[in-house]
């Protein structure tokens, strides 16, 4: 950390090198304890969405953490007692898979070790290899309180899991039942709905003749477990068949035709096969009609039904069943390929199999209603508000949650079964039953069960700790809109239930997914995946953070590109160079602000107070993109491009007031930027204000209305228009930046610019006219100002005409080509809309080029 014990200034190096700064500063911050809650201010807390212990920092994490860190750093500077609590999730399935693969490489399985030894091995792996992401969070600059780091399997959080399970069990909100669940034949465990990812895949839809009725299916092998055919009770086509039976092909079994309102008469033939043991909707039909459930495949997806298909994998059995039906003339129609959504295990991508299984469930009805009510009555606010309807769509229609997993790594279900059918749930301070025949349930709890407790278990619940009293409810949860259903709803349900109706967070701030610069989803197959650690290595953590934050609009996807990250690095370098210039020219933060100021100083202070107020408002509404964009343009345009240049003449004359204003502006700007780009702002401010302490705990700037000066802003706006117009003319005419041109300025007094003529001439490289002055070009600028320029001797007119004529011909050719394409009705009708739009853009650009080039030609001397 920068030594701030002395006010002696140090020189900044010629270039900013992030690698030489970031690790040193971060280590200093941690050692100084500045990330721990400070003072007695109003509490502000965030619990980090716990990354998996197996994970590493990906670009989605980097965005999420950048937003959280920005919010917490700003509140810390505002004097709040801030807590950003870090930790990790034990990631049951993912972690068990990692360790099992490791064991397989040694030629053993978990069953060879036994449960106790296997769990020991997982803890060993966690100590040696897990949690890599925590170090990567430090590289990004996360200002979390590492002294409060938690893990979902640590002692305190495990106690919380046992406590809430017991409470739910006793309240009748946890039960065990045979239900259809999502099953992964590779991981050999049940999955919750949120652990299943659906992708569109090419399959086959076959229509099968069942006696007088035809049914269609994409999973022909499951017909071996059919126990009925269902039709809608009002479907006139089938009313005469309701209550009769048909023979199930290939099996010899007879099954009933039942009437059920769930059936959609408009879908397919209006008749559906009912397989209660292998389809969730069929299971519900089976329950309503007391149908038997016939299981026809085992836990690995292998057919167990007696007959010729026994022993075949489900995907081998599918074509074999179709072939056998075809032989019997039962296949009425086949549609191939048939696109439909197929569920995959989110951990291993294996196609999930619906399976009837004895599992533990949470009755989510009353819990989900409470979670919906908390948002409806305003206890929790969702930002942006339009995404609340997604939340309601989920919590208002939530199914009961399967929470048991057939794993060894995780919180083991605290239920014991006795020799005579007894079931005993054991709390954290209770001894399990002993004696012959008593056994604990073999399953563990879904990882989301423990992470659903995260906002309060990490603060010490079930104990009534000081942290829990002070920092719950947490202030804001930052997460992607894609996880709104998965995790947010579960935390809402458990938080409200465990904390007597107190919501787990006041605000849910949702951001979108990171995409490439063209809006495409990132994918290894597309080759557009961004590794934030690579960007940090090459461009620095600040540039990486600024790139992500500058695209972070609430609820919207975030486009990024390497080119933009390079631009963010250039921005950090621009700040570095501006501060270095200021220090070399005596800029200071010491002493009172002067009361007598020139127009330029009054203008920049007025702009600064506007920007401070605007940025404050954007942060309050989680509009980080707008805050960053505002700061970027103020820093680059107003401060570096205009104020620094305008101040050079007075700084050269030794103006103490301008030195003080320049120091104040940079100090304020660095504080405003600190939450987003913490490293470079710490390094620069410690050089500018060596006695001011760390910027991490510096005061957050407030807009100072006393500096609002409409007159100065109007004058500088007029000055900028004049200089910009002259610079544009110079660039159009091919004049070198340093080349001076003789010019006469008229109308300055009427525009209030007479006192600034020398500044205008300095910035625009204009010399005073001499006796032989002859205007070869005249520019009219808003406000009644005209600039007459004598370009004789400054421009090779013949060469410039030739260059412009060549550019004009190219632009005219482009216009002809694009108009030709757009005039072709067949092309416009058949071409994709983006292609047509792109051609229209090309036409508009070319037409604008023609107008610009003609104006340049007209301005050339004869």
Q: Which of 488-502, 634-648, 720-734, 826-840 has the lowest mean pLDDT?
A: 826-840
Instruction: Give the Å distances, CA to CA, from 704 to 380, 612, 613, 658, 667.
Output: 33, 9, 9, 18, 14
Band of the pLDDT at 225, cuts 50, 70, 90? very high
- pLDDT value of residue 734: 82
Q: Which of 800, 791, 807, 817 is nearest to 848 (CA)?
A: 807
Provide DSSP, 229-290.
EEE-TT-TTTGGGTT-EEEPTTT--EEEEEE-TTS-TTSTTSEEEE-TTS-HHHHHHHHHTT
- pLDDT value of residue 8: 60
Band of the pLDDT at 828, cuts 50, 70, 90? confident
The CA-based angle 629-633-638, given to 5 degrees, is 155
What is the torsional sign of CA 644, 646, 652, 657? negative
Q: Is 793:775 a contact under the CB 8 Å cutoff? A: no
Q: Is the pLDDT of residue 158 over 60?
A: yes
Neighbours of 793 (CB within 10 A): 8
> Alpha-carbon distance 645 to 607, whole Å?
16
Q: What is the pTM of this model?
A: 0.85
Q: Which of 466, 463, 446 is nearest to 498 (CA)?
A: 463
Q: Is 664:587 a contact under the CB 8 Å cutoff? A: no
* Orientation of helix 59-77 relative to helix 132-140, angle to 10°: 50
In this structure, what token pair is assigned to residue 60? 């989605």
Neighbours of 637 (CB within 10 A): 13
Q: Which residues pair with 797 in a beta bridge?
A: none
SS3 assignment, position 635: helix
- pLDDT value of residue 191: 87
- pLDDT value of residue 781: 85
Which residues make Cβ contacts (< 8 Å) with residue 681, sequence separation at least 6?
575, 670, 671, 673, 674, 695
Mean pLDDT for the chain? 92
In this structure, what token pair is assigned to residue 769? 């006219």
The CA-based angle 46-48-53, given to 5 degrees, is 160
Provide DSSP, 521-576.
BP-TTTT----HHHHHHHH-HHHHHHHHHTT--TTS-EEE-HHHHHHHHHHHHHHH
Mean pLDDT of the 332-345 span = 88
Q: What phi and psi values does residue 780 have, to the nearest 5 degrees?
A: -100, 125
Q: Is the pLDDT of residue 196 over 90?
A: no
Q: Which residue has the higher pLDDT, 438 or 5?
A: 438
- pLDDT value of residue 3: 42
Neighbours of 17 (CB within 10 A): 11
Q: Is the pLDDT of residue 4 over 50?
A: no
Band of the pLDDT at 862, cuts 50, 70, 90? low
First to last CA, the chain: 64
Q: Is 472:499 a contact under the CB 8 Å cutoff? A: yes
Q: Is the pLDDT of residue 405 over 70?
A: yes
Band of the pLDDT at 1, cuts 50, 70, 90? very low
Residue identified by tokens 């103020």 is 634
Mean pLDDT of the 411-434 span = 95
> Which contiguous run of DSSP H or E holds residue 624?
helix 624-633
SS3 assignment, position 139: helix
- pLDDT value of residue 6: 39
In this structure, what token pair is assigned to residue 182? 């999502």
Q: Which residues pair with 440 in a beta bridge?
A: 416
Q: Is the pLDDT of residue 7 over 60?
A: no
- pLDDT value of residue 436: 93
Residue identified by tokens 């007479």 is 754
> Alpha-carbon distance 479 to 82, whole Å?
19
> Which contiguous run of DSSP H or E holds residue 516?
strand 514-516
> Alpha-carbon distance 514 to 549, whole Å?
11
Strand duo 174-184 + 189-191: pairing: antiparallel
Q: Is 60:513 a contact under the CB 8 Å cutoff? A: yes
Provide DSSP, 647-711.
HHHHHHTT-HHHHHHHHHHHHHHHHHHTTTSHHHHHHHHHHH-TTS--GGGSPPP---GGG--HH
Mean pLDDT of the 282-306 span = 94
Q: Is 27:146 a contact under the CB 8 Å cutoff? A: no
Band of the pLDDT at 9, cuts 50, 70, 90? low
Q: Is 427:162 a contact under the CB 8 Å cutoff? A: yes
Mean pLDDT of the 29-43 span = 95
What is the torsional sign of CA 122, 127, 128, 130? positive
Q: What phi and psi values does residue 185 have, to the nearest 5 degrees?
A: -70, -10
What is the torsional sign of CA 560, 566, 570, 573? positive
pLDDT per residue over 506-551, tens digit each? 999 999 888 888 888 777 667 788 899 999 999 999 999 999 999 8
* Orientation of helix 656-673 relative to helix 678-688, angle to 10°: 160
Q: How far is CA 66 from the centre of its chain?
A: 10
Q: Which of 275-279, 340-344, 788-792 has the lowest mean pLDDT?
A: 788-792
Q: Percent of the chain beyond pLDDT 90? A: 78
Q: Is 344:191 a contact under the CB 8 Å cutoff? A: no
Residue identified by tokens 């960053």 is 628
Strand duo 423-425 + 404-405: pairing: unpaired
Band of the pLDDT at 337, cuts 50, 70, 90? confident
Q: Percent of the chain beyond pLDDT 70? A: 98
524 annotated as a binding-site residue? yes
Q: Which residues pair with 88 in a beta bridge?
A: 151
> Alpha-carbon distance 366 to 703, whole Å?
47
Burial of 736 (0-12, 13-18, 19+ CB in 10 A): exposed
- pLDDT value of residue 720: 95
DSSP state of 303: B
Which residues make Cβ contacts (< 8 Å) with residue 737, sequence separation at least 6?
730, 765
DSSP state of 172: T
Q: Which of 322, 329, 314, 400 is nearest to 365 (CA)?
A: 400
Q: Is the pLDDT of residue 364 over 50?
A: yes
Band of the pLDDT at 793, cuts 50, 70, 90? confident
């Amino acid at each position: 950390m920068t030594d701030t014990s002395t006010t002696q200034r140090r020189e900044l190096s010629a270039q900013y090198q992030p690698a030489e700064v970031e690790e040193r500063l971060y280590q200093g911050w941690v050692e100084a304890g500045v990330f721990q809650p400070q003072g007695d201010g109003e509490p502000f807390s965030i619990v980090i969405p716990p990354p998996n212990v197996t994970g590493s920092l990906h670009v989605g994490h980097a965005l999420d953490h950048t937003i959280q860190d920005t919010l917490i750093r700003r509140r810390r500077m505002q004097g709040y007692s801030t807590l950003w609590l870090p930790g990790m999730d034990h990631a049951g399935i993912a972690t068990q898979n990692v360790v099992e693969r490791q064991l397989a490489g040694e030629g053993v399985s978990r069953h060879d070790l036994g449960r106790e030894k296997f769990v020991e091995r997982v803890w060993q792996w966690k100590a040696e290899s897990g949690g890599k992401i925590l170090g990567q969070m430090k590289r990004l600059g996360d200002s979390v309180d590492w002294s409060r780091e938690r893990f979902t399997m640590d002692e305190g959080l495990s106690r919380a899991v046992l406590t809430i399970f017991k409470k739910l069990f006793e309240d009748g909100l946890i039960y065990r039942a045979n239900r259809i669940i999502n099953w992964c034949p590779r991981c050999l465990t049940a999955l919750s709905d949120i652990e299943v990812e659906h992708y569109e895949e090419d399959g086959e839809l076959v229509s099968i003749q069942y006696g007088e009725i035809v049914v269609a299916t994409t999973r022909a092998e499951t017909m071996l477990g059919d126990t009925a055919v269902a039709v809608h009770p009002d479907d006139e086509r089938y009313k005469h068949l309701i209550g009769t039976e048909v023979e199930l092909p290939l099996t010899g079994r007879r099954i009933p035709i039942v009437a059920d309102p769930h059936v959609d008469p408009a879908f397919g033939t209006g008749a559906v096969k009912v397989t209660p043991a292998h389809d969730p909707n069929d299971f519900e039909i089976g329950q309503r009609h007391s149908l038997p459930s016939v299981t026809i495949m085992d836990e690995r997806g292998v057919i167990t039904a007696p007959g010729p298909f026994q022993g075949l994998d489900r995907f081998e059995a599918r074509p074999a069943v179709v072939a056998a039906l075809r032989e019997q003339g039962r296949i009425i129609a086949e549609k191939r390929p048939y696109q439909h959504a197929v569920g995959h295990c989110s951990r291993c991508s294996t196609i999930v199999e619906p399976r009837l299984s004895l599992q533990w469930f949470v009755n989510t009805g009353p819990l989900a209603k409470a979670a919906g009510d908390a948002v409806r009555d305003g206890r929790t606010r969702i930002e942006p508000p339009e995404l609340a309807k997604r939340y309601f769509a989920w919590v208002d229609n939530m199914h009961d949650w399967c929470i048991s997993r057939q794993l060894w790594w995780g919180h083991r279900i605290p239920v014991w079964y006795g020799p005579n059918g007894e079931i005993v749930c054991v709390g954290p301070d209770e001894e399990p039953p002993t004696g012959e025949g008593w056994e604990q349930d073999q399953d563990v709890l879904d990882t989301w069960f423990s992470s659903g407790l995260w906002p309060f278990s990490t603060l010490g619940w079930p104990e009534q700790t000081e942290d829990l009293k002070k920092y719950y409810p947490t202030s804001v949860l930052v997460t992607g809109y894609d996880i709104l259903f998965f995790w947010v709803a579960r935390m809402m349900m458990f938080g409200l239930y465990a904390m007597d109706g107190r919501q787990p967070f006041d605000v849910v701030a949702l951001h979108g997914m990171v995409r490439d610069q063209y809006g495409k989803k990132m994918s290894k197959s597309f080759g557009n995946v961004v590794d934030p650690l690579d960007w940090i290595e090459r461009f620095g953590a600040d540039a990486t953070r600024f790139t992500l934050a500058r695209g972070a609009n609430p609820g919207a996807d975030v486009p990024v590109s390497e080119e933009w990250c390079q631009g963010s690095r250039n921005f950090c370098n621009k700040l570095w160079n501006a501060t270095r210039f200021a220090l070399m020219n005596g800029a200071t933060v010491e002493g009172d602000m002067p009361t007598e100021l020139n127009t330029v100083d009054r203008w920049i202070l007025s702009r600064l107070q506007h920007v401070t107020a605007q940025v404050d408002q954007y942060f309050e509404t989680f509009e980080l993109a707008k805050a960053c964009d505002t700061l970027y343009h103020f820093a680059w345009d107003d401060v570096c491009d205009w104020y620094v240049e305008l101040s050079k003449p007075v700084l050269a004359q030794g103006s103490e007031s301008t030195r003080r204003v320049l120091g104040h502006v940079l100090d304020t700007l660095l504080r405003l930027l600190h939450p987003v780009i913490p490293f470079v702002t710490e390094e620069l401010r410690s050089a500018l204000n060596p006695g001011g302490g760390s910027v991490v705990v510096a005061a957050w700037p407030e807009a100072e209305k006393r500096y609002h000066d409409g007159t100065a802003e109007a004058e500088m706006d007029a000055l900028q228009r004049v200089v910009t117009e002259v610079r544009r003319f110079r660039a159009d005419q091919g004049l070198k930046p340093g080349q001076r041109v003789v010019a006469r300025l008229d109308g300055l007094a009427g525009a209030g610019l007479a006192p600034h003529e020398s500044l205008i001439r300095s910035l625009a490289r204009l010399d005073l006219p001499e006796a032989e002055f002859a205007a070869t070009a005249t520019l009219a600028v808003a406000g009644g100002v005209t600039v007459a320029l004598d370009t004789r001797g400054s421009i090779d007119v013949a060469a410039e005409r030739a260059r412009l004529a060549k550019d004009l011909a190219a632009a005219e050719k482009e216009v002809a080509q694009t108009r030709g394409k757009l005039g072709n009705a067949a092309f416009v009708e058949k071409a994709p809309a983006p292609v047509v739009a792109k051609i229209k853009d090309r036409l508009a650009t070319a037409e604008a080029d023609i107008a610009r080039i003609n104006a340049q030609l007209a301005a050339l001397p004869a």
